[in-house]
Amino acid sequence: DQQVKQNSPSLSVQEGRISILNCDYTNSMFDYFLWYKKYPAEGPTFLISISSIKDKNEDGRFTVFLNKSAKHLSLHIVPSQPGDSAVYFCAASPRTSSNTGKLIFGQGTTLQVKP
């Protein structure tokens, strides 16, 4: 039972354009949603998060939008750069496991930004 889903395994965009990565969840009992980025041969690194009580959070070129009624969140990268090419994981922190290290991850989306 996949509670967090990233339905697009891959995405390719042109440098300078917007990248939109999507994530759907099936459980309303999440406190935080997060995005992690992973380069080959490295561990995931935290990118940006959003509290379940917010709709939007912005950090430089990265913006995360949360649509609670649709149980959907998205990560926007504007403008996209070749260095953004990586695997992006959506993750959620369950309320029943709050204040623990347990996160529910999606399967990941591989972003390729072409120069």
Which residues in this chain contact another protein in the complex, by CB under 8 A?
Answer: 4, 6, 31-32, 34, 36, 41-46, 49, 89, 91-93, 97-108
Q: Are 19 and 35 in contact (CB under 8 A)?
A: no
Minimum gap (Å) between residue 27 Cβ and another protein = 14
Return d(Cα 77, Cα 72) in angstroms, integer.
Answer: 17
Minimum Å gap between C-beta 67 and another protein is 19
